[in-house]
Chains A and B, each alone.
Chain A
Amino acid sequence: MARMKFLCDSERCVECNACVTACKNEHEVPWGINRRRVVTLNDGQKGERSISMACMHCEDAPCMAVCPVDCFYKTDDGVVLHSKDLCIGCGYCFYACPFGAPQYPQVGNFGSRGKMDKCTFCAGGPEADNTKEEYAKYGSNRLAEGKLPLCAEMCSTKALLAGDGDVIADIYKERVARRGYGSGAWGWATAYKTGSSA
């Protein structure tokens, strides 16, 4: 079965932030929350690299391991989702996540942050697919519509890849072979401990 993964080809990312904007617009993400961010390393120096980051939907997700109310679940295609009805806003998942993916709508202490929000791989949540209720809590469910995450689909330089992990790893390998160099699939060794051959 296909396993969903994200891969950012940092040789191609030009830090345009279109993925961030598209995500916010597609899901009507609340103020103060960015499900996706572009991180630039060595900004302005030789070897500068930009990486588009969001929830990587880890194989052995630390957020799932630490959640005290067990609000996370993983789909058969490897997408890590959560129930906002169960979330108590404790913030444990934020501290556990190696990518800083979980976000909260309010600034506050335990329980006053509001319900956690994160990238859903455009796969909605526990409500019935493509309903108003699902959209209000989690945003659109493009996977159920036979599409892929919008951030990757609209990337103009084709830096951000999303979809079947084997296919996108193959695409990335082809690029590296053609170019003769590559920075590696950033985050894959952390997120996908097995099968992170790209």
Chain B
Amino acid sequence: MTRRTEDKGLARRDFLKAAGIGVAAAAAAGAAAVGPAAASENRDQRKRARYRETDHVKKFYASNRL
């Protein structure tokens, strides 16, 4: 049985380690480029009423009374 005494280039485990670091670095760079995710509203904000009786809405009601 022979023993492997010398490795040429990157060993398998070294390669996987290097590839993992590369992927992590690329993901971090990508996240930095995109910036923070759009702000989600908190519980109170999301339940807040959006409806307002604007002129636009009043016109809609008026047109339906014809």
Contacts and interface: CB of A to CB of B under 8 A. Distances in A.
Contacts of B65: 171, 174
**What class of interface size applies to chain A in its complex with B?**
35 or more
A26 interface: no
Main secondary structure of the interface of B (DSSP, over half): loop
Given A128-B40, A129-B50, A147-B56, 19 more contacts: A75-B50, A76-B48, A77-B51, A81-B46, A126-B40, A127-B39, A128-B38, A129-B41, A132-B38, A147-B57, A148-B57, A158-B64, A161-B64, A163-B57, A163-B60, A164-B53, A168-B61, A171-B61, A171-B64
Contacts of B5: none
A153 B59 CA distance: 10
Contacts, number: 73
B46 A75 contact: yes
11 contacts: A123-B50, A127-B38, A127-B40, A128-B38, A131-B38, A143-B50, A146-B57, A148-B60, A158-B66, A163-B51, A167-B61
A144 B57 CA distance: 12
Interface in A68-116: 73-77, 79, 81
B52 interface: yes
Given A73-B47, A133-B37, A146 B52 contact: yes
